[in-house]
Structure formats: structure tokens, C-alpha cells
Structure 1
Amino acid sequence: MPDGLDWAPVRDLARRVRNGERLTLTDDVRALLERTASEVGMSKADTASALASAATAEALVLEFARRIKEGSDRLMDALHRAKRFRLAGDFDRARQELREVLAVEVVPHYREIAEGQLENMADEP
């Protein structure tokens, strides 16, 4: 992960919330969620609204964890399929795999990876 991109604390909070632990909105937790919001493609307004109560903040934590996990899974699956298509010489289908990720992905880090891979294929037939 790039410098400054550490999602382990968010994943840990989400795990604890899923296990029934109540979220306490300390200053540190608020700062973590505010910092993570842009990293997972959540608007400042939606984040601020969700931080109005512990219950909505819990939903926010779970949404952040979902975006991180699903985005990672989606990207990794697409990269594997794209590689298979590239090795088979089907560059159009390889590029399509990455375009499909970009059509739905909201996490900027994952989008950058998909865009970079797509760029790397620009010179291929």
C-alpha cells in the first residue's frame, strides 16, 4: 500500500462492530474515519452526517470495510482474468476486465491500479 494508506484499524473496528461491540466515538476514532473517508471514496458530507451518532458511525465503519474488501476482491479477480486473456493474446477482453472494474469501483487506490494496468496495455494490439 502507498505511504499513509493503512486500513488495518478500520478493518479491526469493523470486526469488533460485527462481533457486537459498541463503537465509541472518541476523537481518535473520528479522526480515523474522517481520514479514511476519502481513501474509500466517501464524501465529506456523508461522513460528517454519519458521525452524528454512534449507530450511524458503526454503519459507516462497516461500509468502509465493505468497500475495502469488495474493491480488493473485484480488482484482484479482474487482474487475474486480464492476465489470462493477455497470455491468450486476447487484449481486448483483458482491457474490458479493467474497464468493468473502473465502471463500478469507488476506492481511489483500486481505481489507480486498474487505470495503470489499462494504460500498460495501451500499446498492445
Structure 2
Amino acid sequence: MNTPNWSSFRDLARRVLREDAPLTLTGDTRALMLRTAEEVAIPDAATALNTSAGALALLREIERRIAEGSNRLTDALNLMWKLQQQGDFDSARQQMRDVLAVEVVPYYRELAMEQLDGMADEP
């Protein structure tokens, strides 16, 4: 599994969404947004980049998927580990199943699946 490097995208999103910098669609910015959109399972991102409003909406959706997926997985992992320590492996497994039921970002899905598979041999 290759860990995506979203730092450049997150820097762009921070500047545009929090610091009110303009979203200037240079060739590098377009490439960054297209690559990141693909990594978070957003189809037809190129179409969104045809307008300023579409590009901004795409930026927001990519950022949302990265942030919400990360938060969801982190929360589920913390609870899963706590439940494992308590010996409740069924509930621990369910945490990862719950993530998989709603998560669309392939990287986060893969992490959740690895955790679920790793528990297969536990009680």
C-alpha cells in the first residue's frame, strides 16, 4: 500500500479555504487536484476544473473526504483498540466494518480492511 502524500493539497486547501487566497488554476494546481481527486475516489474531476466554481467545489470535496475519512478511521481505531484490550473482539471488528460501510477513500478503506483482516485470528 502506498501512503498518499496529501501535504501539498492540504497546504493549497488551507490557503484557499481558511486564508481566503484565490484558487489559481495553474498547470501544477490542476495536476495536483486531479491526482488527489483520483486518490479520494472522485470521478470526472477534470470537468469540475472547467469553471472557478467547480474547481472550488472540488477542492472542498477533496478536503472533506480526506479530513472526514481520517477522523472516522482514527476514532474507529481508537475504539477498536480499547475494545480489543477489553477482550470484545466482535465489537472491535464491527468498528472496522462500520468504517468500510461508509468510507469511499481507497487508502482509508485499505487501512480498515487490514485491521479487520488482522483480527481474524483473535477470539
TM-score under structure 2 length normalisation: 0.93
Once the two structures are overlaid, the 10-residue window that deviates more, 54-63 or 82-91, is 54-63
Alignment of 1:21-36 (within 5 A): 21-36=21-36
Which residue number in structure 2 is paired with residue 14 of structure 1? Answer: 13
- The superposition leaves residues 71-114 of structure 1 with CA deviations (integer Å, 9 ceiling, x where unpaired) of 11110110010011111111100000000000111111111000
Sequence identity (%): 56
Alignment of 1:50-89 (within 5 A): 50-89=48-87
Q: Secondary structure at the match of 1:89?
A: coil
Which residue number in structure 2 is paired with residue 110 of structure 1? Answer: 108
RMSD of aligned residue pairs (Cα, Å) = 1.4
Give 2:57's aligned amino acid. A
Q: Secondary structure at the match of 1:84?
A: helix
Runs of 4+ in 1 over 6 A off after TM superposition: none
1: CA distance, partners of 2:75 / 2:67: 12
Deviation at 1:2, TM superposition (A): 3.0
Which residue number in structure 2 is paired with residue 41 of structure 1? Answer: 41
Q: Secondary structure at the match of 1:61?
A: helix
1: CA distance, partners of 2:40 / 2:121: 30
1: CA distance, partners of 2:37 / 2:15: 19
Give 1:9's aligned amino acid. S
Which stretches in structure 2 are left out of the alignment for 5+ residues? Answer: none
Q: How many pairs does the alignment contain?
A: 122
